[in-house]
Amino acid sequence: MARFVINPRDTAFYDLFEQSAANLVTAAEELVDLFDNYKDVEAKAKRLKELEHHGDEITHQIIQKVNLTFVTPMDREDIALLAHTLDSVMDFIEAAGRTAFLYRISQPTERARQLTAVVARLAHTLNEVLPCLRHRKQFNQILKHCVEINRLENEADDIHHAAMVELFDKSQDACEIIKWRELYQHMEEATDRGEDVADILEGIVLKNA
């Protein structure tokens, strides 16, 4: 099993993880803009799809490099799992934008805006924590960031629960309930996958402490 090797010249995996996280930030901010400035929805949904494709390309590069690298800077399984889980965050961000367009959502709710804001804060936190993987002396910072990611996921859960209560209390239109339930779920799932990223990072720290 590959062990953590400190080699400052071999930065490709770290570079790719940081590119993936930066791409998440861009997508999350685009999602916030979509719901805060609800116009040109189709164009904004297409932009999110482009970012999702870019994320797929980064993930493919990471997996390809795992297969071609004899000595990896951390366990191969952790590299692959981290790459795919970051990609899953992106998938749900893109799905939220796509659903808003395909389901012809007329206007966003305040709960939707609140959820997008949490998704964006979580993406920014991921973007801050990934560079810490490069340096063992920053592993304590990873754990601190993971606590914040877990807090944000809990905040998203609370908003999601409140959104569902309001949805069923205020709407008698079954189609609208189905549309909004799916849209809220995509956003909440994005934060769930973000928490999964935090769990993976915590595991890497524990293995290599």
pLDDT band at 208 (very low <50, low <70, confident <90, very high): confident
**Mean pLDDT on 152-176:** 93
Query: Comparing C-alpha atoms, which of 14, 3, 7, 181 is closest to residue 83?
Result: 14
Is 9's pLDDT higher than 90? no
Q: Are 10 and 73 in contact (CB under 8 A)?
A: yes
pLDDT band at 158 (very low <50, low <70, confident <90, very high): very high
Q: Which CATH architecture best describes the domain 12-208?
A: Up-down Bundle (1.20)
Taking the domains of the chain in order of start, what are their residue ranges? 12-208
- pLDDT value, residue 4: 44
* Pairwise CA distance, residues 154 & 146, whole Å: 12
- pLDDT value, residue 10: 62
Q: Are 80 and 69 in contact (CB under 8 A)?
A: no
- pLDDT value, residue 123: 98
* Pairwise CA distance, residues 175 & 146, whole Å: 37
To 10 degrees, what angle do helices 139-170 and 110-129 make? 170
Q: What is the pLDDT of residues 107-156, one digit of tens each?
A: 999 999 999 999 999 999 999 999 999 988 899 999 999 999 999 999 99
* Pairwise CA distance, residues 37 & 52, whole Å: 21
- pLDDT value, residue 209: 72
* Pairwise CA distance, residues 14 & 133, whole Å: 7
Query: Comparing C-alpha atoms, which of 184, 131, 183 is closest to residue 157?
Result: 184
pTM greater than the 0.85 cutoff: yes
Q: Are 159 and 114 in contact (CB under 8 A)?
A: yes
Half-sphere exposure of residue 11: CA atoms within 13 angstroms, side-chain side: 10
Cα Rg of the chain (Å, integer): 18
